[in-house]
Chain A
Amino acid sequence: MTIPRPLFQAAQKTTLALLVTTVALTILFPLFFLFTFSLMSDYETYSEWPKPLWPHSQVRYRMEKISPQTTRLLIWNHGQSQWQPFGPEHIEANEEVAKKLSRFLTNYGNTTLSPSEILSHVQKAQNSGFHEFTAQKSLSQNYQRFFRLYSGAADAVLHSLSTALLTILISVVIGGMAGYAFARYVFKGKDVLKLSVLFVRMFPPVAIAIPMVVILGRMGLYDRPAGLSLIYSVNQIAMNIWITASIFMGIPESLEEAALIFGANKRGAFFRITLPLAVPGLAACAMYSFISSWNEVINALILTQFRPTFPVVVYKSLLGANAQVHLIAAGSIAQAAPAILFTLIIRRYLLQMWGGVKV
Chain B
Amino acid sequence: MNASKTPGLIRERQERMAPYLLIAPAVIYYAIFWLFPVLNAISGSFLSAPLKQGGEWTLKNYAAVFTDSMFYRALINTAIIVVVSVSLEFVLAFALALLINKKFRGSSLFLFLAIIPMSLPAVAVGAMWNSGLATNGWLNSALVHLGILGEAEKIPFLAGGQGANILLIILVDAWQVIPFMMIILLSGMQGLKPEMAEAGRVFGGTRWQVLHKITIPMLKQTIVTAMILRIIAAIQIWLIIVMIFGFNRLPVLMEQIVVNVDLYTAETFFRKGMALSVLVALIVSLASVAYLKASGALGAKKEEAS
Contact = CB atoms under 8 A, between A and B. Distances in A.
Given A211-B41, A215-B37, A301-B262, A246 B306 contact: yes
B129 A211 contact: no
Contact of A178 (B26, B124, B289, B306): B26
A23 B261 CA distance: 39
A211 B136 contact: no
B123 interface: yes
Contacts of A29: 142
B277 A24 contact: no
Interface stretch (A115-123, A125-133, A191-199): A191-199
A225 interface: no
Interface in A293-344: 294-295, 297-298, 301-302, 311, 314-315, 318-319, 325, 328-329, 331-333, 335-336, 339-340, 342-344
A26 B92 CA distance: 14
Nearest to A291: B119
A206 B306 contact: no
A262 interface: no
Contact of B19 (A33, A187, A207): A187
Contacts of B254: 204, 206, 298
Contact of A20 (B110, B123, B130): B110
Contact of B285 (A199, A295, A331): A199
B25 A174 contact: yes
Contact of B33 (A49, A207, A230): A230
Judged by DSSP, the binding face of A is helix
A30 B129 contact: yes
Given A34-B128, A195-B302, A352-B306, A208 B34 contact: yes
B107 to A, nearest CB: 8
Given A311-B123, A314-B123, A37 B116 contact: no
A233 B29 contact: yes
A53 B100 contact: no
B130 A49 contact: no
Given A175-B26, A329-B131, A315 B126 contact: yes
B112 to A, nearest CB: 6
B225 to A, nearest CB: 8
Interface stretch (B71-79, B155-163, B236-244): B236-244
A246 B305 contact: yes
Nearest to B149: A50
Given A181-B23, A356-B191, A328 B127 contact: yes
Contacts of B179: 23, 27
Given A243-B305, A359-B108, A50 B144 contact: yes
B36 interface: yes
Judged by DSSP, the binding face of B is helix
B121 A207 contact: no
Contacts of B23: 177-178, 181, 187, 193
Contacts of B228: 198
Contacts of A231: 33
Contact of A34 (B26, B131, B285): B131
A207 to B, nearest CB: 4
Interface centre among B183, B243, B261, B306 (most CB of A within 10 A): B306
A347 B262 contact: no
A270 B116 CA distance: 35
Contacts of A297: 121-123, 239
Interface centre among A24, A184, A230, A242 (most CB of B within 10 A): A24
A178 B113 contact: no
B187 interface: yes
Interface in B1-34: 14-15, 18-20, 22-23, 25-27, 29-30, 33-34
Interface in B223-242: 225-226, 228-229, 232, 235-236, 238-239, 242
A215 B38 contact: no
Interface in B261-283: 261-262, 270, 273-274, 277-278, 280-281
Please list the 4 inter-chain residue pairs (A to B) with the smallest Cβ-Cβ separation, ordered nearest first: A343-B119, A246-B306, A211-B40, A357-B187
